[in-house]
Amino acid sequence: MAEITAALVRELREATGAGMMDCKKALTEANGDKEAAVDWLRKKGLSQAAKKSGRVAAEGLVAVASEKNKAAVVEVNAETDFVARNEAFQTAVEQIAQAALKVGDDLETLKAAKLPSGRTVADELTHLVATIGENMSLRRARVLSVSSGVVASYVHGALRPGVGRIGVLAAIEAPSENEALLALGRQVGMHVAATRPAALTVDDVDASALERERSVLVEQARASGKPEAIIEKMVDGRIRKFYEEVVLLEQVWVHDGESRVKKVLEKEGGKLVAFERFQLGEGIEKEENDFAAEVAKVAGK
């Protein structure tokens, strides 16, 4: 039986990020063979990941990465906001965004992409599940690019550069890339983070959403008792107001409170062609825990 020294345990822990006792047990099982111990930990991590995969993961982080006229945004979920403060998790999410920048936003392709650790994205998340002890998942990714111009990024609630709770990309076409255009793109990102537009242009508004809105407005207008011709004009006016609320280019620019976004872009000679906004946990149904009931259960009441 090989001697399992403290130094060997420490080396394995530094190499894998696993707990001290897990590393000691892995080395014991592997008879002191470090590489075999790494494999044992990976297999153990796979087992732990399977057990945790049913848990709701609605916390985590959003990260952005950019280069020249291209940028990516990803969302990686965990079970608690405690994990978001873990440096290893932050680094992994940051690296996953960089990987998306290289391989694109197809999730299966991204999961197979290699990270600096030598592990794939999927294996890195499995490794973190084993190390940290929470379910984690790569939820979504998006990459935007332009042939000429900039794709700017903005992160709200950043825990470190490019990593936070809300990530926005803004793709602006222009004859060339310059710092002024990039700064404008970041301002657009801040605007999108604050206003949550549903569409870029009027033509992009979801037809069913527009029909629902029009139906409500028609009923409201008819309640006034006015003639149909007047009702039609009232509804048209309110639809324009609806567009100003949900269409990015029609919104009032948050940075001055009076200009329209489209006018700001026209003035700077850029054309906003796409945007993306990822908010952490958006659309995930979270479990509501009754803390008092949990305490009573533990106390045996």
C-alpha span between 271 and 293 (Å, rounded): 55
Which residue type is seen at 125? L
Cβ atoms within 10 Å of 290's Cβ, excluding its own: 9
Which residue type is seen at 173? E
Per-residue pLDDT of the chain (301 residues; tens, 9 = 90+): 678 888 888 877 766 656 677 788 888 988 988 878 877 776 665 334 444 444 545 689 999 999 989 999 999 998 888 888 999 999 999 999 999 999 999 999 999 999 999 999 999 998 888 888 888 889 999 999 999 999 999 999 999 999 999 999 999 999 887 888 999 999 999 999 999 999 999 999 988 888 888 888 887 777 877 787 887 888 888 888 889 999 999 999 999 999 999 999 999 888 999 999 999 988 775 555 444 554 454 445 4
Q: Which two tokens stand for residue 116?
A: 């600096």
**Contact present, 213 and 242 (Cβ < 8 Å):** yes
C-alpha span between 208 and 196 (Å, rounded): 19
What is the domain class of 206-245 according to CATH? mainly alpha
Q: How many angstroms separate the Cα of 213 from the Cα of each of 80, 200, 207?
A: 37, 18, 10
The region that residue 12 occupies, defined by phi over 0 for left and psi between -120 and 50 for alpha, beta otherwise, is: alpha
Entry pTM: 0.73
Q: Where are the domains of the chain?
A: 6-52, 59-194+271-279, 206-245
**Contact present, 76 and 138 (Cβ < 8 Å):** yes
Query: How would CATH label the architecture of 6-52?
Result: Orthogonal Bundle (1.10)
As a residue count, the chain comes to: 301
Query: How would CATH label the architecture of 59-194+271-279?
Result: 2-Layer Sandwich (3.30)
DSSP string, 159-198: SBTTEESEEEEEEEE-SS--HHHHHHHHHHHHHHHHH--S
